[in-house]
Every structure is written in C-alpha cells, then in structure tokens.
Structure 1
Amino acid sequence: MERSGALKKTPEATGGGDSGTLCRRMFLAMTGGTYIAALLAGRSAQAAGHAASAVTFSGQSVVVAGDGVRSVDVSTGTAAGLTAADRPIRALASHPDHPDRLFAAPAGGGIARSDDGGRVWRSSINGLPDAQVTALAVAAAAPGTVYAAVAGDGLWCSEDAGRTWSFVMDRPWIEEAERDVLALTSVNLASGMGGIWLYAGTRRGLTRVPDCFCRWQDVVAGDAMDALAAGAAPPPEAPLPEGEPVLALASAHAAPERLYAALPSGLWASADSGVTWERRSSLHARALAVDPADPSHIAAATDAELKHSRGGGANWTTLAAL
C-alpha cells in the first residue's frame, strides 16, 4: 500500500518549523528501537489507571481492559478474567475477520498483541517510538493493517499485523496547534480515497483523513476529492457539539456509515458517516465498541460498569460491574 505524500510536512500539518518535529521523531524512533518491555510484566505502572478504559468485541464476547483484562459473554453476562496487567491498558483494537487477535496499548508506551483473545500477550513494537499510544484501530478492509496514534508525535501504521511500524501522518492541526488523538476508528466508505477513512477524536472535536494520508480534514458530505479541492467546506448541519473532547469512537463493520461517539455530554450517533449527529443518551462512556454483526449493538465502559445497548445507544443494560 503506497502512501504518496505521507511524509511530506506542510504548514497545515506541523504549524511550520520542521526541524523541531523531525528531531523529536528521530529521538522517539531511536529510543523505541531499544524498548522491549513486555505488556504484562517487568515494569510498574507509569500512570494512574481506570477500572476500564478500552473495550472491543471478540466473537460473542466483549473484551474489556483497564487495570486488567476480562472477557464478558454478551448472552449470559458471565465474566472471565484473562490477565492481571501490571500496567493499565489505554486502548484495544480487533477485527471481525480475526476475532481472537487483539492489539493493546499499555500505559507508558508500546503495543502488545494477543492471538488467543487476551490470555497471552507479546510485545509488538518494532520501529514504534517509545511513547504513549493513545488510540488504536485495525483497518476496516485490511485486518493485517493496524494504526496507532502516538502522543506528541503522530500516526503510525503496521501492514504486517504489528510486527513492524512506520510513520504515516502528523497529528491533526486544529485551532493553531497539533492535537493528540484520543480515539481512532477505520471506516470502509466509498467516498474515501482507496475506500478507507480514519476518523479521529481529539480534545477539540472530530476530524478524519483518507488512507492516502494527504491531509486531515473536517467531516463533510460528498466525495473525498471534492472536499479536498474545495478547501474550507461549510460545516455540517448537525455536527458534534463544538469544543467537547471526543473520548471514544466506534464504527459499525456491517454498516460503515454508522458511527458512535462518546462525549462528556453523552452518547452520540451518526447514520451518514459523521456528517450529522444526534444525541442518543446521557451515558458517560470511557470506551465504545460495536458488534461486527449488528450495527445497533454497542458495548460501553463507564466509570463503574460495562454496559451494552441493542437499540443503537438509546437504552442500556448492565453486563458487568467494573
């Protein structure tokens, strides 16, 4: 997958002044080459964790992670402990084509991969900077392609299921500053260049980039090429609330135009690829995941509970206490 222009710096992407950014990236890459700490042992927590900060579907179960990793059967609510993590996990990602293959981002940096649904993990960081990974996503149409957002740096990609990594895109440039990505999801849409978009949530709202990695842009109606050519596009009629952080994002594999977002104001849903949104409930979620087989079935981690909704976020049932 060739990424034309992916490494080109522009004032939009960097705010001018390449030298500091490049030196920072060089340092991160060099230190990342020597970073071999495992996910689950050998290092004390570097940041305070939450009871749950990441969820993903794995077959008929929801894997929920934070200070530890558990699997919860969505039919029975039965929870099974998978791993007691020495470091809190900040993000999880999976793909329905490989339901037992999970990627996790532990506090303090690095990425780990599990091929058995979260029971055994191994380090998966070759080439990745030694810095906190804030968000993860597996490409919607390519289960071997994984994206990682690195704090203070940008977007990294692995095309071999996490074995090796390369830099592809700076952080979003929003309101005169680079913004770290808090949430990330891959969406297989016909309007994307090559068919795939990456949607990102930041502290200043929602943005996205096509998989050519040419430029972060606002979510607008219409074709990606038209949006790029138009430059500043008119805002959508019903965007997400302005200025609120997007804490979690999730897309529906079976219905790519369906997106969900967790904000401080509640759970929001879009049926048109993020152009217009409606508030579905006041639920305060830390993490979201959508059932690959049912776009109306959502799992969400709150401060105290793992919940799920079979009505697109309008009503919720508790699956397990956290």
Structure 2
Amino acid sequence: MKDPNMTTTSRYSTHVSRRVFLGALGAGAGLIGLPFSLRAAPGAAGPAIAFDGDALILAEGTLSRSDGAGGWIDLSVPAAGSILSLATHPGRSGRVAAGLAGGGIALSEDGGHSWELRSQGLPDAAVTAVTVAATESDTIYAAIRGDGLWKSEDAGQSWALAMDRPWLKDAERDLTALTSVDLATGMGGIWIYAGTELGLTRVPDCFCRWQDVQPSDAMEALASGKPAPSEAPLPQGEAINGLVSAASLPTQLYAALHSGIWESRDAGVVWSQRSSTSALAVAVHPANPEHVVAITGDGFVESRDGGANWT
C-alpha cells in the first residue's frame, strides 16, 4: 500500500533497485544516503539508528557513521556481539551506548570507532533497548530480555535493577524501546518511556510503578492509581519498535510501529500517524525536533518537517 505521506522518491523505491534508490537519496540536497555496504552480515545486527550531534550512527547488517558529506564511514563492531539498540546524549558528543544481542552494553567514547564492554552486574541476556538519562550523560538504562529495566549511574561501570518488567494483560512484558524524557512532572524531571509488544508505558525515575501516559499532572495520577483517560493513544496491542524524545523539545516524541511512524507533541498523550509504512527504528536530531530519520519498509527515510513529508 502506498503511503500518502511519502514523497515520490520514497514511494518509487519499491520499483527500482536498492542501489539506485540509495544513490538517489545521497544525491538529494541536504539528504543522507545509506551506505552501499548495508547488508545482512555478522557484527552489527540492528536495525538501530541514533544521532551523534549532526552525524548518524547506523547498525543494520554493518555498523556505519555518516561523514557529513553524504557518505558513510564503516565502523568496527563491538567484539562482544551484534547490536540490537543504540543511544547517545546531546551533552556528550562521541559517546555511544550499544545494547548487545548476546548480552551486555558496549560503550564508545569516539563516535563508534572503538568499543569497551560495560556489562559488570548485568544479567546474561539480550539488551533489547538502551537510553541515556536526559539530564545526566553518565546514567544509562538498559532493558534486558526476560528480566527488566536496569540502571547504571557511572557510564556502565556498575549496574543495578531499577524496575521489573511492566505487567500488562496478565503477564510481564519485555521492553522493546526506551527513551528518557525531561518533563517537569517526573521525579527530578525525568520519565522513562518504554515500548512493549502491546504498546506504550512509562515510569518516573522514582521507579514506583509503570503507568499509562495520561494528561494533566501525571504524578498525581501515579499517586491516586486512577486509570488513564484515553485521548488519542498509539494503536492498542501493537508492538513499539522504536521510541525517541527530541532533546531540544522533550514533549515531541516519535515512535516506530508496524503501522508506521507516529508523532506526539504533548509528551505522548495525543499521537498522530505521520507515515503508514512499517517502521523498524527512528531517531531525531538533538537540536532540531522536526528533523527525524527512520528505517522503514521503504528503506531509509528522512523528514525535515516533523513527519509531514518524507524523502
């Protein structure tokens, strides 16, 4: 099905060769083309994508970094295994945290060129999602498959369990995506938003309990335990593959789902569908909340207007 929000270039990609499509992307003014080395290969599994300043770090088949001139640089992959998730912090240029399929966190301090394993104390299971605290670049959160949410306050040197997995529809559910959101209604201004196989949930950094995203003063609702009123949530019962908050405008969120790319401008209370093409990963520029990129069924797509138009 054609996506009405996609431009001619991205819709046409299903009818031309992958090499021609990616080359056309790279030739566009101000656009970022994918590396031609993108393929299924040992090392960086993905798909995962994150901005490091103006550059993009991409794990899909291989591991690459955009060079600022429309090209890509191949990066070494962590020796400990394939990458499932990536996270960066706007206040710590060059630092990249990678969640590994074989278990553990790898940390790079040079933009992904070299890696050090930071897994002391973590369970030996896949790290399905990772995020860095919005206001503290040394605080990293990791979602462990079959376990829960873990936290490090020393850039991964040590870890402790922060929260069990959320209990949804009579069972604990794994976390599929994470983002730290700087909101005044959180304890200390921080909420951890999480995607699951059934939709969106969140927890304040007091780690009291998981709750639905809701309007008004969320801390009062957390204390009262009242169910959240439904406004315009993400599709119910659908897995969230990617989730990100704009660092320069924390209330602006993007989510990657099978049903497409979704956007919220009020911290996740009301969502609007910005693309109907299945999305696997999403990232937003740290200084421009309208500049978003995603990996979708149409390939690598980019929007400069908050998802209104895609190339």
| TM bin (shorter chain) | 0.7 to 0.9
User: Which residue of 177, 188, 199 corresponds with 1:194?
Assistant: 188
Matched residue, 1:7: none
Aligned pair 1:112/2:118, yes or no? no
Q: Does 1:294 align with 2:284?
A: no
Q: Which among 221, 226, 232 is matched to residue 220 of structure 2?
A: 226
What amino acid sits opposite 1:202 in the alignment? T
Aligned pairs for 1:1-322 (under 5 A) are 52-73=46-67, 76-84=69-77, 87-302=81-296, 305-317=299-311
Report the Cα distance in structure 1 between the residues aligned to 2:179 and 2:107, rounded to whole angstroms.
18
Deviations 1:150-182 (Å, cap 9, x if unpaired)? 011111000011111111100011111000000
Aligned partner of residue 235 in structure 1, secondary structure: coil
Give, as a single letter, the amino acid of the residue that structure 1 aligns with 2:115: W
Give the match's secondary structure for 2:220: helix
Q: Partners of 1:65 and 1:99 in 2: how far apart?
A: 18
Q: CA deviation at 1:242?
A: 0.9
CA–CA distance in structure 2, aligned partners of residues 176 and 283 of structure 1 = 31
Shift of 1:52: 4.1
* Partners of 1:131 and 1:203 in 2: CA distance: 18
Note the C-alpha offset of 1:282: 1.5
SS of the equivalent of 1:161 reads coil
* Corresponding residue for residue 40 of structure 1: none
- What one-letter code is carried by the residue in structure 1 that aligns with 2:50? T
Measured in 1, the distance between the counterparts of 2:147 and 2:188 equals 25
Asked if structure 1 preserves the Cα contact closer than 8 Å seen for 2:44 and 2:59, the reply is no
Letter in 1 for 2:169: E
**Quick one: which amino acid aligns to residue 186 of structure 1?**
S
Compute the displacement of 1:82 (Å).
1.0
Q: Tell me how far apart the structure 2 counterparts of residues 163 and 170 of structure 1 sit (CA, whole Å).
A: 21
Residues 1:66 and 1:107: Cα distance change in structure 2 (over 3 Å): farther
Secondary structure of the residue aligned to 1:163 is coil
TM-score by length of 1: 0.80
1:49: how far off? Answer: 8.4
d(CA) in 1 for partners of 2:44 and 2:160? Answer: 30
Aligned length: 270
Alignment partners' CA distance in 2, 1:300 and 1:52: 13
**Preserved contact between residue 212 and residue 228 of structure 2 (Cα < 8 Å):** no
CA contact (8 A) 1:263 1:285 kept: yes
Q: Secondary structure at the match of 1:268?
A: strand
Question: Using the alignment, how far apart are the partners of 1:304 and 1:267 within structure 2?
Answer: 12
* Counterpart residue number, 2:14: none
The residue identity in structure 1 corresponding to 2:73 is A
Q: Percent identity?
A: 55
CA contact (8 A) 2:96 2:111 kept: yes
Q: Distance in 1 between matches of 2:265 and 2:107?
A: 32
Distance 1:206 1:49 in 2: 30
Counterpart AA for 2:70: G
Compare 241-250 and 300-309 and name the one that shifted more: 300-309
For structure 2, list consecutive stretches of 5 or more residues without a partner in the other structure: 1-40
Root mean square deviation of aligned Cα: 1.9
**Displacement, 1:48?**
8.8
Report the CA distance shift for 1:85/1:307 in structure 2 as closer, same or farther (over 3 A): farther
Alignment gaps of 5+ in structure 1: 1-46, 318-322
Letter paired with 1:221:
P
Q: Which moved more, 1:258-267 or 1:281-290?
A: 281-290
Query: Take 1:229 and 1:266, find their aligned partners in 2: how far apart are those partners?
Result: 34
How far the C-alpha of 1:147 sits from its partner, in A, is 0.1
Q: Which amino acid aligns with 2:104?
A: G
Q: Counterpart of 1:203 in structure 2: which amino acid?
A: E
Q: Single out whichever of 47-56 and 143-152 deviates more from structure 2.
A: 47-56
The offset of 1:193, in angstroms, is 1.5
What is the alpha-carbon distance in structure 2 between the residues aligned to residue 62 and residue 144 of structure 1?
A: 21
Q: Is the 8 A contact 2:45 2:84 kept in 1?
A: no
| 1:93 alignment partner, SS class | strand
C-alpha distance in structure 2 between counterparts of 1:276 and 1:187, whole Å: 16
**Counterpart of 1:122 in structure 2: which amino acid?**
E
